[in-house]
Amino acid sequence: MSAYLLLENSEIFKGKSIGYKGICVGEVVFNTSMSGYQEILTDPSYKGQIVAMTYPQIGNYGTNSSDMESKKPFVEGFIVKEMSYITSNFRSEDTLNEYLTKNRIVGIENIDTRKLTKIIREKGSLIGAITSYEEKIDEAKKLIDEYSIVGKDMVRFVTTKKPYEYKEKLFRFDFENKINMETVHNKRVVALDFGIKTNILRYLNEVGFNVVVMPAYSSYEEIKYQKPNALFLSNGPGDPRGVDDKWIIEYKKAIEEFPTFGICFGHQIIARCFDLKVYKMKFGHHGANHPVEDLESGTISVTAQNHNYAVDENSIKDRNFLVTHINLNDRTIEGMRHKELPLMSVQHHPEASPGPHDAKYLFERFAAMVENNQRSIL
């Protein structure tokens, strides 16, 4: 069965339908990861976006319930060059096609993903639509004309509705040894859920935190009621500028009281709390192979990333922040810390889902920051 990918620049790709038969619309972005497609599909940060994989064959190891980063997929649509309809993995429960179909994700294969990626690199992220039906091409064009996520709060679609405790630790095969990580002891962290990923929570547990996840729309008093020792601001979808100013005020109150770590969307929210400028990038960073330099140690890590927005370097000048990490591809800011408050943030995903584990040390750094802050209070 044929399918069509339409872009707002009037480009049309004809391919083969995969997954659910229907129509979808979203901001089209490309991801350069060679594996980890299930983690990508279930990353809430992709709400509002159609993801194109640049690696040519996707799906050869199937899907399983253990590798999900949230309760369900959040991508609007999925694009691949070639999808594998057979799986070679003892952990597989469904083929990728079965998984997409069950979760009503519209997809397309057998298009020139190299050409698509070059268009996005040249033009920037574009609004697009996938339709499994040729007779609905005009409907798809209309959806494209009406769609935008710039300036909109997408967090409301992905955040938890009520607080809950999370106690799982990292998944390991039976033959693996426990990793040795520096930990905190009996410290409680409130994780604000802007679209939090499962492995982030697992890493927080791994370094010793007792984790309570709270809705993104939580007031300072509601956070304080949980009696936390620390605050964590998670990843999330869309434009951080779309979050209402009244919540930014609440977050800043909490940040000024509790040691805080923010990643990705949380990093951008911290920037907003301190009146730093956040801007939309041309086509963002999406993949598991972005080199980042830790300016304080000189260490270079290969990192996982998923964001279309960044903090403006010029807005940090003459503020109480130090830039701690830089992307070596385009020199964008990848991390910062406050000069006076116990506050740190990074733009990339140190939990590596999917991706390399080079940046996991940041969870240990957060744990050490909380321990040191508690000792200074005592």
- Residue 21 banded pLDDT, cuts 50, 70, 90: very high
Q: Give the residue ranges of DSSP H helices in the chain.
A: 37-41, 96-102, 113-123, 137-146, 198-206, 220-225, 245-255, 265-273, 361-377
The mean pLDDT of 43-71, rounded to a whole number, is 96
Q: Specify the 3-state DSSP secondary structure of 4.
A: strand
**What residue type is 183 in one-letter code?**
T
pTM for the whole structure: 0.94
Beta strands 12-19 and 49-53 are: unpaired
Residue 15 has pLDDT above 60, yes or no: yes
Q: Tell me the fold of 2-146.
A: Glucose Oxidase; domain 1 (3.50.30)
Q: How many residues does the chain have?
A: 378
Residue 377 has pLDDT above 60, yes or no: no
Q: Please, which residues have CB within 8 angstroms of residue 375's CB and are 6 or more apart in sequence?
A: none
Which residue has 């039906």 as its token pair? 133
Q: What is the pLDDT of residues 241-281, one digit of tens each?
A: 999 999 999 999 999 999 999 999 999 999 999 999 999 99
Q: Looking at domain 155-377, does it have CATH number 3.40.50.880? A: yes
What integer pLDDT is reported at residue 378 of this predicted model?
37
Is 24 a known active-site residue? no
The mean pLDDT of 298-311, rounded to a whole number, is 95
Is 82 a known active-site residue? no
Considering the candidates 39, 206, 351, 371, report the single residue annotated as catalytic. 351
Whole-angstrom Cα distance, residue 167 to residue 188? 12
Considering the candidates 27, 109, 264, 364, report the single residue annotated as catalytic. 264
Whole-angstrom Cα distance, residue 334 to residue 326? 5
Is 264 a known active-site residue? yes
Retrieve residue 38's tokens.
């299930």
Domain ranges of the chain: 2-146, 155-377
The mean pLDDT of 16-42, rounded to a whole number, is 97
- 205 φ, ψ (degrees, to nearest 5): -65, -40
Taking only Cα atoms into account, the Rg of the chain, rounded to an integer number of angstroms, comes to 20
Residue 146 has pLDDT above 90, yes or no: yes
Which residue has 């290969």 as its token pair? 302
Considering the candidates 293, 349, 364, 371, report the single residue annotated as catalytic. 349
Instruction: Report the DSSP beta bridge partners of residue 335.
Output: 325, 346
The mean pLDDT of 171-192, rounded to a whole number, is 74
